[in-house]
Amino acid sequence: MGEQQHVTFPQEVIDEYAALGVDLPALFSAGHLGTRMGVQIVEASAERVVGTMPVEGNTQPYGLLHGGASAVLAETLGSVGSMLHGGASKIAVGVDLNCTHHRGVRSGLVTGVATPLHRGRSTATYEIVISDEEGRRVCSARLTCLLRDVRPGDGAQPPAAG
């Protein structure tokens, strides 16, 4: 399961992070867990984050998409939106995640779409709707992130190559 590819960001956001020496697509990847689960972020802005995840490899013993896998996708997408809202000087830390699972999925790809419910100075809340390939809602989630100032050692910048 692959690395993140083809992420789209508004040019002004790319420029803001590039001025700080930050590789934005690397910073907003799904991380090691998301990579292991096959999460792909395909569109990202503070107004809308879209990502996909395969069902295969992310199932529970009955062969259905694991609720925890849906939670990983939801938290990843909501966190990306929160970080983009907060800007380069803030870090988003999840403080509340709620997921309601509506239907089981046994195969294919699920798609999550995160949109803001609240974007403040110190918190951001996103609604994340996860759907199957037929467009049927699989999970509704809500994530609230604390937005705090970046501190030295936060790991906001990817490690240097070499």
Q: Which of 43, 56, 75, 134 is catalytic?
A: 75
Report the length, in residues, of the chain. 162
Residue 47 bears catalytic tag? no
- Strand 90-101 to 109-119 pairing: unpaired
Contact 76, 94 (CB under 8 A): no
- Strand 40-44 to 137-149 pairing: unpaired
> What is the C-alpha separation between 39 and 111, in angstroms, rounded?
10
Contact 133, 107 (CB under 8 A): no
Contact 2, 29 (CB under 8 A): no
Enzyme catalytic residues: 75
